Every structure is written in structure tokens, then in C-alpha cells.
Amino acid sequence: MTTLSVNLNKIAVLRNARGGDEPDLATAAETCIAAGCGGITVHPRPDRRHVTTEDVVLLADLTRGRVELNLEGNPFAPQRPGYPGFVELVRRAKPAQATLVPDADGQITSDHGFDLTRDLGKLAPLVAELDAIGCRVSLFVDAGANESFEEARTLGVARVELYTGPYAHAFANGDFVSELQRCVDTARRALKAGLNVNAGHDLNQKNLGIFKRAIPELAEVSIGHALIGESLYDGLDRTVRRYLAILA
């Protein structure tokens, strides 16, 4: 069974746009958990434009022993006021999974994965440190661009998360077969190397079913932007349940 991890960044964006506490992140998380999701994902950024360090600590307490917390971020982003650095944040929250993403401060959203051939040397000590904290390590990767999965597994990486933005964009344009095949091929190589495979970015109710059928071994999908947008029309509980039905 593929785990649905709901990304709550957009709830925090709405809250921060107005100030105050509404919409409430904890209530959103409780609603998703009650609907049956298996995880909560957040991607706190150093500029605190959506989920904050305080939110991460709150969600860590709320999810512990109930569903997995997946904490995403750039492990190379330096500490600054209000942001202790990714590894320190993982140390405080102790999530089930730490997903390392090579995003720059100015990016609106993540738009590419690590080049494992180039980046594994820099990532190795961070993977070891996160593994010592006790969380599973996943690396955000591009479909078709990484060939060093065996080395990543040797270093202690447990999963890769396929960046599905190109697939979703191609799906919306009606010509997605080649992008889907790139994802399938990359997933097969990762699985052969002993890594489990996650996926995320721009997945929605229209494109998820085909993707899941093409890669039935998917361990987890992390979905936020589309799910929160769809929930504005249909409600958060009902939308989460629809995603779970697709994955089933």
C-alpha cells in the first residue's frame, strides 16, 4: 500500500498571508489524519514564508505515534534567525523521514533533484548524521538523471523521491508517455539498488492513478498544492479520502 503524506505548507501560507492563527495547522493535520492519511509532510524554508520552526515542533508532537512526519529541506541552507538549520531542526523534531531537497532560498517551489553523481560526496556526512538521529533519509531526484543509486544505498540512504513535476506538466498537455517512462525507468533502477521509491510534486487526482499503476511499488506520495486546492471545493476530509481511494 502506498502511503499518502499530505503536505500542509499551503495551510501555513494562507495563515501567514493574514497573520494570526487561522487556518489552524494543527486542525488541518488532525482532519487529514482522521480521514486516513499515513503521513504529514512539511517543507520549512529559512525565510519562514510558510511552515515555521515552531510549526514543525507542534506537528512532531501531534503526529508522534500516529502517522509519519516527513520533514523536507535543503541540508546545506545555513542557520539564521528563526531557522536553526535543517539538520538541527530534524534533531529537534525527530521525524520518521528526512527528505533532502536541493532548493535555493529564492525558489518559489522545488524544481529539480540532486545530481547524485556530483552531490553524493557532499551529502554523505549529512546522511550519516541524520541516520544517527534515527530518521529515514530520502533524496529528491530527477527522473532519468541519476545513476548512483547503489552508492547512495551504501551511504545509508533509504529512499529516493522522484520529482514528478515534468510528468504532471506533460500530463496536463496530453503527451505524458515519455515522461512517465522516465519515472518508471528511474524507479526500477532505484528499486534494483535496494532503495524504496517515493514521489511528489504536482501530482493530483487526474494524474495520480496512471502514475501509481505504472509504479505499483511506490512507498509514498507527498501531495500538497493540488490536494489543498481541491479541498477548497470539496472539503479536506473528502479530498484526502479520494486520494486514498486512487492509491488503493
Nearest 5°: the CA angle 85, 87, 89 is 65
Q: So what's the pLDDT on residue 56?
A: 98
Region 193-218: what's the mean pLDDT? 98
Q: So what's the pLDDT on residue 109?
A: 72
Q: So what's the pLDDT on residue 113?
A: 83
In the numeric block, which cell numbers belong to residue 210? 496512471
For 72-106, write each residue's pLDDT tens digit. 999 998 899 999 999 999 999 999 999 999 987 76
Catalytic residue selected from 50, 161, 201, 230: 201
Catalytic residue selected from 43, 50, 161, 230: 43
Cβ-Cβ contacts under 8 Å for 176 (sequence gap 6 or more)? 167, 170, 207, 210
Identity of the highest mean pLDDT range in 77-86, 146-155, 169-178:
169-178
Q: So what's the pLDDT on residue 41?
A: 98
Alpha carbons 55 and 166: distance in angstroms, whole number: 30
The CATH number of residue 166's host domain is 3.20.20.70
Alpha carbons 193 and 37: distance in angstroms, whole number: 28
| Alpha-carbon distances, residue 96 vs 131, 138, 192 (angstroms) | 11, 11, 23
pLDDT at 66 over 70: yes
- Burial (CB count within 10 angstroms: exposed 0-12, middle 13-18, buried 19+), residue 204: middle
Entry pTM:
0.95
43 flagged as catalytic: yes
Q: So what's the pLDDT on residue 112?
A: 78
Q: So what's the pLDDT on residue 145?
A: 80
Catalytic residue selected from 68, 72, 179, 220: 72
Return the higher-pLDDT residue of 131 and 110. Answer: 131
Work out the pLDDT band at 111, boundaries 50, 70, 90.
low
Number of folded domains that form the chain: 1
Q: So what's the pLDDT on residue 171?
A: 98
pLDDT at 122 over 70: yes
50 flagged as catalytic: no
Q: For the chain, what is the mean pLDDT?
A: 95
Structural domain that includes position 81: 3-247
Q: Distance from first CA to last CA of the chain, Å, rounded?
A: 7
